[in-house]
Amino acid sequence: MPKMPRPKSRGQLRTRRHFRLRKKVIGSAQRPRLVVYRSLKHIYAQLVDDASQRTLMTVTDSGLTGKPVERSGEVGKRLAEKAKSAGVTQVVFDRAGYKYHGRVKALADGAREGGLEF
37 and 61 Cβ atoms separated by less than 8 Å: no
Residuewise pLDDT in 10s, the chain (118 residues): 666 677 689 888 999 899 988 888 888 888 999 999 999 999 999 999 999 999 999 999 999 999 999 999 999 999 999 999 999 999 999 999 999 999 999 999 999 999 999 9
The domain ranges of the chain are: 27-113
How many other β-carbons are positioned within 10 Å of the β-carbon of residue 25?
16
| The pLDDT value given to residue 27 | 86
Fold of 27-113: Nucleotidyltransferase; domain 5 (3.30.420)
Q: Write the DSSP symbol of residue 114.
A: T
